[in-house]
Amino acid sequence: MVFAFRKVFFVSFVAFVLAFSSWPAAQGKRVYISVDMEGISGVVGDDQTSAGQPEYGRSRKLMAEDANAAIRGAFAGGATEVVVNDSHGSQRNLLPEDLDPRARLISHSFKRHGMVEGLDDTFDAVIFVGYHAKADSPRGLFAHTGSGVVKDVQVNGRSAGEGGLNTLMAHWYGVPVVMISGDDVAVEQQKEWTPTVRGVVVKRAINMRAVEARPIAEARRDIEAAAKEGVAGSRKPSRDRASAYRVRMQLRNFTIPEVATAFSEIQLVAPDTIEFTRSTMPEAYRVIRVLYRFINPD
């Protein structure tokens, strides 16, 4: 009887230890990683960020390594599935063979939801890697929002860069943004949207073009650690949805606003500024993308 009791106790103990040791995997977290290029560690010049430029081949490898650090961290923090979205320029920078083989990759455009294509309410955490400051920031490497033609985007009266717009999308779906990497200005601006986000500063912006870069290996270690902590501690908040999304866009030319008035619901409120309203954030996001990216006045 005593022996039997001991045996039962031992079996229960082993079962408990096994269950506990596999606890993170048992959570089954789905993690979404959006990867831009300007805020990648080691990317410091504008000859690195577009296809065809001499340094581009190096920077897409650097981009994959920062993404891999976040992927490793996400899995270590309890992710069982990681989806990476290539979010820069042509959105075909990351080479599948360079990525951690456990991650899936969303690549190339056209994507209606651009930097957050594929994100929905089935995800448990969002990570931004390689992000940059918004348009018209006085400092921040290659600060811009979407493209060079945008001076400012406001949603319901609040100015938003790419991090802000993508955060509004994540919150629409009820998924927390748990980590961001980029230059110090990008991280600072993200904290205004998500104060508890883990921010990894991989370089200090001296102005819009010069930076002080941290040692690359150290930056990647920090990305991995922050992704791990962020995913492990992630809790899904309830969806954060406004009753309507009023968007105001100021551009750096007068032609795009003029072209945009072809759509009767878009109002020209100043020669360089348009406004429109959509009832959902994904709809608003899709229109914003068309306005800055797909109107070619030539």
CA distance 233 to 192: 20
Query: Pick from 285, 247, 260, 277: which is nearest to 114 by CA?
Result: 285
- Which residue's CB is nearer to Zn ion, number 49 or number 234? 49
The C-alpha atoms of residue 57 and residue 49 are separated, in whole angstroms, by 9
Distance from the Cα of residue 228 to its chain's centroid: 16
Q: Which is nearer to Zn ion, 73 or 163 (CB)?
A: 163
113 carries an active-site annotation: no
* Nearer to Zn ion among residue 78 and residue 130 (C-beta): 130
Q: Which of 88, 132, 144, 171 is catalytic?
A: 144
Interacting residue ranges for Zn ion, rule: CB under 5 A: 36, 162
Closer to Zn ion by CB, 29 or 134: give it: 134
- Provide the minimum distance between the beta carbon of 38 and Zn ion in the complex, in angstroms, as a whole number: 6
The Cα–Cα gap between 129 and 183 comes to: 10
Min CB(69)–Zn ion separation in Å: 19
Min CB(36)–Zn ion separation in Å: 4
Closest residue (Cβ) to Zn ion?
A: 36
CA distances to 68, 74, 113, 177 from 230, in Å: 15, 8, 24, 9
Could you tell me the CA-to-CA distances from 98 to 6, 109, 244 in Å, in that order? 51, 20, 41
Q: How far is the CB of 180 from Zn ion (least distance, A)?
A: 12
CA atoms within 13 A on the CB side of 173: 21
Report the distance separating Cα 199 and Cα 184, nearest Å.
9
Question: Closer CB to Zn ion, residue 86 or residue 162?
Answer: 162
Q: What's the min distance (Å) between Cβ of 41 and Zn ion?
A: 16
Integer CA distances (angstroms), 169 to 16, 83, 227, in order: 39, 16, 20
Catalytic residues: 144
